[in-house]
Amino acid sequence: MEAATSSGSPLGLILSVLAILIVALVSVAVIWKAKGRGGPSNETNNTGVQVNGESLMNNVQFQNVVVKDIKMGFGSMVVFMIKWVLAAIPAMIILSLIGLAIGAIAGGMFGGFLG
């Protein structure tokens, strides 16, 4: 059995770039939706939780808020950043698995072209 190498064939590089672009686009779409782009802003919301046919959230106003400063001690900031780094580890594992799955699917589909 021969080991697959990336030398000599640009198709492997193209597939890798394609897989990275797909993961990046999906990530951007998820973030875009999570931030609520295009959602209500300074509008009245007449929909809401209904109890016995009566809405509990009539005429709720949405307001945009801009945070200009966060006062946080140095020790608290260090703890926050350590937690942030630890939370990023599972996220990177998940993104790596998604990229691996996309690469495996693309490799299975186009593996015959590599030689």
- What tens digit of pLDDT does each residue of 18-77 get? 888 888 888 888 887 777 655 554 444 455 566 666 666 666 677 888 989 889 899 999
What pLDDT does residue 81 have?
Answer: 93
pLDDT band with cut points at 50, 70 and 90 for residue 2: very low
Amino acid at 21: L
What is the arithmetic mean of pLDDT over 83-105? 91
**Cα(7)–Cα(20) distance, rounded to whole angstroms?**
19
pTM above 0.75, yes or no: no
Q: Which domain holds residue 81?
A: 10-39+70-113
What pLDDT does residue 25 have?
Answer: 84
Contacts of residues 17-23 at CB distance under 8 Å and 24 or more positions apart, as own/partner, are: 18/106, 19/99, 19/102, 19/103, 19/106, 20/99, 22/102, 23/95, 23/98, 23/99, 23/102
**By C-alpha distance, which of 4, 18, 12, 6 is closest to 99?**
18
Judge whether 30 lies within some domain: yes
Per-residue pLDDT for 86 more than 80? yes
Judge whether 106 lies within some domain: yes
Total number of domains in the chain: 1
Judge whether 45 lies within some domain: no
Helix (H) or strand (E) segment spanning residue 40:
none
More confident residue, 48 or 96: 96
What pLDDT does residue 42 have?
Answer: 46
Per-residue pLDDT for 106 more than 70? yes
Judge whether 25 lies within some domain: yes
